[in-house]
């Protein structure tokens, strides 16, 4: 098994151009590509993926929605107020989903322990039957569903640290116990979902965990949430695969949000996710790019996470959480006490 992280990148995804002034711009991947070009083959195993097949996408999206997207291949269109397509967008969306699938497949083939799918358009807002919030197909959800349907994976943990709640991912799996979704996000904020009381439904009750955080929260707040909520729950859930919706728009420099994470803070979150994967999932972890709209910051955060995946960077956070975050943690732990024996917060 290779110790190098598997990095999926395809320049064809740069052809997705939602408009001159749109924050989810081709410049995001162009900056990442320039950074990747500085990394040697000894550092990363860089690959391209093919387009996702329809069967894989239909595990998350409706046939009618897929048909509507297919009809727009090679065309420009406005799918919702935030989500626009150009001539290259549909191909990019299929490639993004394909990269997420192939990354997970490689992990179960024991080629690699760790992977990062550097994709666009992002995915975690996309619902079963509609595009939303810059997202066309829900890449991370498609990868998780593929793992359970095709790779024999019985328990998937999805960690979403994007500043926006991953509504599409939550709704994809809120009635399932084999895919646990853990979201931290600025609240109140777009898309308006992600209340702590949204715990899942039916067999999925207790397997959807939201930790909404007030604007301005930073490294110490996120580190405390991961230590006092995510790690104890993962200890009981014992995932066989860890997936991360890796958005970097909770960084203090991001123009679309109001959080205060640093690059070192994101590296710490990645470190914790890797530790969970190492402890429970034979090291299997795949990150999938979501948001992050300051290109220099985005590139720095992606590089920091690649360094973590390469065991070249371990970030420790010593900043204490705010009183508001302590209260949020206590609330979440009390609410989930009926589902998980996670003890008292500290």
Which band of pLDDT confidence, cut at 50, 70 and 90, is reported for residue 342? confident
By the 10 Å C-beta count (0-12 exposed, 13-18 middle, 19+ buried), 322 is classed as middle
- Per-residue pLDDT tens for 169-205? 999 999 999 999 999 999 999 999 999 999 999 999 9
The pLDDT value recorded for residue 87 is 99
Q: What percent of the chain has pLDDT over 90?
A: 95
Nearest-5° angle of CA 37, CA 42, CA 47? 55
The pLDDT value recorded for residue 182 is 99
Task: Please give the helix or strand (H or E) that residue 80 lies within, else none.
Answer: strand 77-80
Q: What percent of the chain has pLDDT over 70?
A: 99
- Per-residue pLDDT tens for 127-185? 999 999 999 999 999 999 999 999 999 999 999 999 999 999 999 999 999 999 999 99
The pLDDT value recorded for residue 344 is 59
Distance of CA 38 to the CA centre of its chain: 24
Alpha helices, H only, 166-294: 167-173, 219-225, 231-237, 263-280
- Per-residue pLDDT tens for 16-48? 999 999 999 999 999 999 999 999 999 999 999
Output 196-201 pairs: Cβ under 8 A, ≥24 positions apart: 196/328, 196/331, 196/332, 196/335, 197/335, 198/170, 198/174, 199/335, 199/336, 199/339, 200/174, 200/175, 201/174, 201/175
DSSP assignment, residue 51?
Answer: P
User: Position of tokens 């900056």?
Assistant: 31
Task: Please state which CATH number belongs to domain 6-338.
Answer: 3.40.800.20
255 has a pLDDT exceeding 70: yes
Which band of pLDDT confidence, cut at 50, 70 and 90, is reported for residue 319? very high
pTM: 0.98
CB within 8 A of 297, min separation 6: which ones? 248, 251, 253, 254, 263
The pLDDT value recorded for residue 210 is 99
HSE-up of 206 (CA within 13 Å, CB side)? 16
Q: Domain coordinates of the chain in residue numbers?
A: 6-338
The pLDDT value recorded for residue 64 is 99
Inter-residue contact 197 to 305 (CB < 8 Å): no
The pLDDT value recorded for residue 152 is 98
Q: Kindly list the catalytic residues.
A: 125
Average pLDDT over residues 207-234: 99
Which band of pLDDT confidence, cut at 50, 70 and 90, is reported for residue 314? confident
């Amino acid at each position: 098994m290779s110790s190098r992280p598997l990095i999926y990148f395809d320049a064809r995804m740069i052809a997705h151009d939602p408009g001159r002034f749109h924050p989810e711009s081709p410049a995001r991947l162009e900056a990442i590509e320039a950074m990747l070009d500085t990394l040697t083959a000894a550092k990363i195993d860089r690959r391209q993926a093919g387009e996702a097949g329809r069967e894989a996408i239909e595990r998350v999206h409706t046939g009618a929605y897929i048909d509507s997207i297919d009809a727009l291949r090679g065309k420009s269109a406005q799918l919702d107020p935030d989500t626009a397509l150009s001539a290259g967008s549909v191909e990019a969306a299929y490639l993004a989903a394909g990269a997420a699938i192939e990354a997970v497949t490689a992990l179960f083939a024991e080629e690699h322990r760790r992977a990062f799918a550097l994709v666009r358009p992002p995915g975690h807002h996309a619902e079963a039957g509609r595009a939303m919030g810059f997202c066309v197909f829900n890449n991370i959800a498609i990868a998780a569903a593929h793992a359970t349907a095709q790779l024999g994976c019985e328990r998937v943990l999805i960690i979403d640290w994007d500043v926006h709640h991953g509504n599409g991912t939550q709704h994809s799996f809120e009635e399932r116990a084999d895919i646990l979704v853990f979201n931290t996000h600025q609240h109140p904020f777009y898309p308006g979902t992600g209340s702590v009381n949204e715990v899942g439904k039916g067999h999925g009750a207790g397997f959807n965990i939201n930790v909404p955080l007030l604007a301005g929260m930073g490294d110490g707040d996120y580190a405390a949430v991961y230590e006092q909520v995510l790690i104890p729950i993962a200890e009981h859930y014992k995932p066989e695969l860890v997936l991360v919706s890796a958005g970097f728009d909770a960084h203090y420099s991001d123009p679309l949000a109001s959080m205060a994470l640093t690059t070192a803070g994101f590296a710490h979150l990645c470190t914790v996710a890797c530790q969970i994967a190492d402890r429970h999932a034979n090291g299997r972890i795949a990150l999938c790019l979501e948001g992050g709209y300051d290109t220099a910051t985005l590139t720095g955060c992606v590089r920091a996470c690649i360094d973590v995946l390469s065991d070249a960077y371990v970030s420790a956070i010593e900043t204490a959480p705010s009183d508001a975050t302590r209260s949020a943690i206590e609330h979440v732990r009390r609410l989930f006490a009926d589902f998980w024996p996670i003890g008292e917060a500290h």
